[in-house]
Structure 1
């Protein structure tokens, strides 16, 4: 293993200087290049992964990118330096190879950590910003491996990569060196391309307060996000086998006149596929239909061949191999280059897009590229369809991304008509708690999992969509459930009425293949199928899981919004439970589209083209004798409260705790702009003007991230000590804190308790006479001590947002923004002030102490 002297010497040769250390290695900076974090200590078995990711995230934010290398042997270390700093490979020179699996192609939703991340992201930045968060983004690393990034946040400035890790699969100590090196190759490739990489573990995300602050700190303002709604549209693709070039060119021209834009041509090997492209491209130039064109080929050799042939046959065309060549008429590039860089171009950048060797489209990640661009002509050439069926190729070439809302996509015929049925249950939801963003899951589980509710759903599906009755609409569909147990109960309920159904979830997705084969009519799913799952035949979606999250509702709805053959419409079954007249109700399809009336199985909205009515007639004639029209209780959280701030958001704005805002509300010191009854409680919302008046009334001066350190020291300078608790709390924290500004709450409480126990032993008391800590039995009760810390010294720091606790993780931590601004000198200054203040305080109490008594 290399020593720090060895590493310093190597880094000095490339003009890097060591500036910091951490338990696993060292940080080096360079005046003109990204910093390097060198891992050396893999035997540190107690190294916490949360600390590992937090430290890296802070560096990512500070430097907007940090390379991370392994330094076990000199050769291995130099290899990494050479690959990313001295001689990185040209992207065009690499051959794309598959690395790892793609969950989207296995039809699985993101893992629970990914699901939790998207939910928290929505809470922090709003549901609109979710459009900027792309799951399972394909990426080609510097070795040519096709990888998958858990989330890519698309911003106007630069994108941000997000990786959500389980310690079992990602902790450097828990995995092999080879796997860790592979993980770093992916991360360092993103850094090389100018994309910072932030990592969180499931445990790190459970520290809710800190996690939300980190998202705000690292990702910037939502107005920098590329948050335009988008929808997958369908191109009509012509796929034909030709034996003669001229016949292929003429066919393309004929179909183009009929409005077609996408073409897949299969020509036998050696019959001149390239000539088809050159001739069709020449005609488009001649007719003035093409100003910018892009040709994508698998390899360098094919790129050189195509450039040579175009130059020879079309000498007036300026051909370039550089993606950033603004003067080129035709850019010829490789699969690897375009997969890495396609997002830097507008979707309308190219009038003509050629994909050579089209059968490689899936394996090389070109499906995302094809979805991104909307050229006037998309031409795919292949000599074989053995690797992919024509139908699969047509599906890949037929998809494109349109910047449309779902409502606009339906109206334009890019998604099927949506017909809704509201199934009303008498299940009482009035006592289900709501945390301001979503139902409390434990309450939801108890309430939703009722056999009678499951039976209502099963009976409805049997009545209208039973596959055994030819007079009914035998449609496949999904029932979205609360949790695994709910999926299992729901599947049994459907089976009991003769419907083939399977429970699918994160640990059992075996029913999905049967669904695609048509052997299962309904899937009952939870935390599965909401994202990254494409089954166009899905025609029924049952919302059996109430949600206040627009993002989750739209994701679930989206599983059925793909067009398919013989699919007249998507049928949405909204389960409407009893909310005791509450204004706030879960999302439903009418709320989503802003339609105040409900008509059973009626089309939502107006459409540009005539909508088929065959199935509606069947439903109406058989089972809807009277088509009722009723006013619904419309709930649209964004419309009603989109411009208002929740209690938690007001607390952040005022730099006080949520408990402080709640206390002010109870005392009547502040008045919310709107209060909404929900069950047995009320939800409060505030306008911007209201928040400003609260700040003025409470003398809250403007506080920003830049003033956080100054605010903290001003708070300490006040020396507001009713008891000594704040002094000892800070000293105990400084004694046991880790490098990332966190301390184990149990360790902190033990140090805190031992200080007062020693005082009591020496002086028969440890505080003012009014303090309960003077009672030895009370002082020896560690549970009491922990509660006392939370209610006394900690609460004073939390109110100002300087400290926070995670009871679930037993962590007490400094606010991350404040911690990033404190240096070693600041910490020593705090320690010295607390020691001096402690000596002065206890002298007034009649207990003489020296500085050594506080250096525990």
Structure 2
């Protein structure tokens, strides 16, 4: 956790340590995944106090908190027992609430990047899918029913069709053991259409169900995910939950239209939670003989709590939230010189650009001229900005107060109660309203703080979308500052993807509401009194680079798929020999993306030959025969591997490290230099086992892994020769490879 902010600082804006963390995260997972990080995520501790997580993330069913400790945590001027105990309360509260907490110092992020990167990869690599923090959005509708599926399958199918028509997307069917559950599930899946995913916890259930599918739905092509089989592209895929959870990152979350969870009473298990959280099907069906768990918690509740939430657009179109109207208010503030990274604007730059009297006056006058007297919230840049805006509102006779997480609990609660009771018309906030507070009758939001975090923007938006008696819609004023394509703030139209704008018109609403307003004009009093309505729409830019690159290949992934050396294609772009389909500039960094259909053309252009199961042995030998060496590490690693792998081509990282280290120690014992010059292994006697592992997993391992010859399971600390390669390496081949390694080592040291 960064040091407690003074009233002049703000949440959701970056500092150098945060920039460092984000750049490390991006190097591992790409800029598109970095946008899933929720900066300064608001939570409550067990005493009800407001707290902020530096970066929050969701992976599968897990909530993850990343914390950055500044110098006041590890170099305090004097020990502060009160602060120390407060830090413990904060961390204990997060753990109690189910958060996994990982912490680094700003010094580590700056001086030990590779170590932090390795740790971050270890923590997240085997977690299935990095997902949106969407807890603030409505849960899916769900229903449960019991049927004797042996004799009442038709009734069950009719019930499923009925609840779907009413907007239900999760269903739980209770049934007697041995009844016709499989028939019902398969028949309903046929109605929805493929692809279908069936998940069970044993391979016997998979086999039984495959036989039933072949008999009942013979035209459907089935695939299996279990053991050594991975066939996710079939029309109906049958998977054991354990095998599936190990392959989630290889399947698009929206790939399957229909998800069937058999023996759904196992849904509380981690593996099932990962599956439920990861996939985004049109419909989910759970089958169970025991709809209540032993602890009394409903299986249906577990499904709803774990499955993805409705998107904002889905929730509004289905009537779960009120429609959103929007007025875009253009300012003359220039954000083009504000520094930014993949997630946030630079704190000081943004504060200097935004907190100016003319812009503040525009915000207040917008409220006074169009919606005075309406219950509203203005989201400010920081605490000081919120207080300044509240003072301006009060000067104009508007009952207003600033509110923040820095206020004492008693004072904050009094302000919020006064707002809820109607004594205050306006709240000015920069943080608190993101979590832990609810006031459904808010009618107006003024989005006066630019943010690059879609999650933060939608959390703020969510404070006004709750339904309340007499509330027809939410009116949002988006203050639009001058910015470039990649540093423009989120706004209602970007969030919803709606290019059509009319002042006060619907940005998102149920289809029938939009059609009625097109025919008859607005009937909502808040719009009739607005004085801005026009008959014509304006076409606006809702460019969203994440959507643009979603189905493209990042240059690093293209290099991997084409077995090019790391940085090869990136350099071709920088040298002007290769044009990317999208050149993304975020802050100081550039990212290149390519359309998937260009892969073969690029391979032909640069004479790149992807590694396949058919050619992997030939390509591996060619690589080993012509090693480009600035150090001895690659052939020494090959030799250590061949000496230590088991019959499946696997070896623990610890054992591999010892074999790698021993090679250099033996050279020293023979009176030879361990390595040349100032290379790290020249100091082998001084290096710890962890430091030697960093050497191994650096350039030598990457050279092999980039071409698909090796992989490393960090969670198991196992290095493995690719199965497709290993099964093609007989004893004679391995002896030949050992000779090649020894020859390369001799040639290197003789140079």
* TM-score scaled by length of structure 1: 0.44
Q: Which TM-score applies when normalising by structure 2?
A: 0.49
**Structure index of larger Rg:** 1
Q: Which has the higher contact order (CA 8 A, sep 6+)?
A: 2
